[in-house]
Amino acid sequence: MEFYENRSRAPFKGFVLIWHAWKHWRARRKTQRVLQHLSNEQLKDIGLSRSDVADPLDKTWPR
C-alpha cells in the first residue's frame, strides 16, 4: 500500500467544521447584541418583541 492510498482525504475537516460553527455562533451573537440595543418600538417595526430577543447565553451552543 502506497502512502497516498493510506492518507486521509480531508485531514483538516474537523478544524473546518469547528471554524464554521464558531463563525456561525459569532454572527448570531453579533445580531443578538444589535437587537438588544433596539427600543421596543424599533423591534415592533421589524416584527419582533423583546421576548424574541432572548439572551444568547440562555441558549445552548451551537444550534
Q: What is the pLDDT of residues 21-55, one digit of tens each?
A: 999 999 988 998 999 999 999 999 999 888 888 76
Q: What is the separation of C-alpha 51 from the centre of its chain, rounded to a whole number of angstroms?
A: 20
| Residue 27 within any structural domain of the chain | yes
Residue 4 lies in a domain: no
One-letter amino acid of 17: L
Q: Which three cell numbers stand for residue 61?
A: 451552543
Examine residue 56 and state whether it is found in any structural domain, yes or no. no
- Domain-located, residue 7: no
Q: In the chain, how many domains are there?
A: 1
CA-wise closest residue to 37 among 24, 47, 50, 27? 50
Answer yes or no: is 17 within a domain.
yes
Binned at pLDDT 50, 70 and 90, residue 56 comes out as low
Q: Residue 40: inside a domain, yes or no? A: yes
The pLDDT, as a whole number, for residue 34 is 93
pLDDT band at 12 (very low <50, low <70, confident <90, very high): confident
In a domain, 30, yes or no: yes
Q: Provide the domain limits for residue 22.
A: 13-48
Quick check: bond before 62 cis, omega within 30?
yes
Phi, psi angle pair for 8, to nearest 5°: -70, 145
| pTM beyond cutoff 0.85 | no
Higher pLDDT, 38 or 9: 38
Report if residue 2 sits inside a domain: no
